[in-house]
Amino acid sequence: MMLLLRWVAHWPLGLVQFCGAVLGWIVWAASPSYRRRLAANARQAGLTPAQARAAVAQAGRMSAEVPWLWFRTADRPLGALIQWDGEELVEQAIQAGKGLLLLTPHLGAFEFAARGYAERYGQRQPITVLYRPARQAMLAQWQTYSRTAPGMQAAPANLSGVRQMLRALRKGETVGLLPDQVPPDGQGVWVPYFGRTAYTMTLAARLAQQTGCAVVLTWCERLPGGQGFAIHYRPLPQPLPDSGEEASAALVNQAMEWVIGHCPDQYLWGYNRYKQPRRVEASAGEAKA
């Protein structure tokens, strides 16, 4: 398997994305529950049928790009495959020296957002990225291997990982986080997301409130025809309050909705965003997903 993945990492990007699009439709056809969830989430967010269909192929492209990136050797940087937009916000945060929190949803080639940052800024200001370790030992090992690169470290989604991120921000470094990921019980609040109540992590706001770091929105847009990716940086549309978990989480969700609106067909609508974690009481009117 390792040899196969390393081989895929040497394919042209356009071929990887083509095969990924085919894979996306195969998974869609093979899984009724996935079809229903993707359609329901896309409809909840107001996508057109054409956008929902495009999201099927885009999700497959994302899946195929992951091993292509994970097993890419250090002597083959992303380089010219990345276009940069709004990078002056990163420069300002680095110069301020108070740490930088980058927030991105499960949109586009989000794995490339951290790797691209590490290649461009990692020597000046390293990045720590939060990830949820896979249950399979081999896959968990690959996750750690791929997300530990020059200028980039991985933090598991547990208490030790939170402490690692806090230390990084207090040292004036950068942290990357996907705040639309469903948190474990006790680490979230019920707030709206695309018009439906979703259990939402409070970690993003707490990191900012406890460290005083800069907060910047980012997303890695997949460009058509295997041309590469565009990494965008934008300020929060509205500053986070100094306290208040529900208000802060709601603002983060609104920011994620704003980001997704730039390329909605590249969001992972098949992700079970509205599920109810174990031992978490559902909000009023919210049934188990």
The angle at the Cα of 241, spanning 216 to 271, to the nearest 5 degrees, equals 55
Question: CB neighbours (10 Å) of residue 204?
Answer: 25
Of 233, 263, 262, 220, nearest to 86 by C-alpha is 233
pLDDT digits (tens, 9 = 90+) for 109-155: 999 999 999 999 999 999 999 887 666 666 666 666 666 678 999 88
Write down the mean pLDDT value for the chain: 90
Averaged pLDDT for residues 215-220:
98
Averaged pLDDT for residues 51-68:
96
Let me know if residue 209 belongs to a domain: yes
Q: What is the dihedral of CA 10, 12, 14, 20, to 10 degrees?
A: -20
Cα separation, 14 vs 20, in Å, equals: 10
Cα separation, 8 vs 15, in Å, equals: 10
Let me know if residue 18 belongs to a domain: no
Structural domain count, the chain: 1
pLDDT band at 204; cut points 50, 70, 90: very high
pLDDT band at 280; cut points 50, 70, 90: low
Let me know if residue 248 belongs to a domain: yes
CA 241 to chain centroid, in Å, comes to 23
Averaged pLDDT for residues 73-91:
92
Out of 40-49, 66-75, 123-132, 262-271, pick the least confident: 66-75
Let me know if residue 10 belongs to a domain: no
Let me know if residue 268 belongs to a domain: no
Let me know if residue 240 belongs to a domain: yes
Let me know if residue 30 belongs to a domain: no
pTM of the model: 0.91
Q: What residues make up the domain containing 244?
A: 79-262
Let me know if residue 241 belongs to a domain: yes
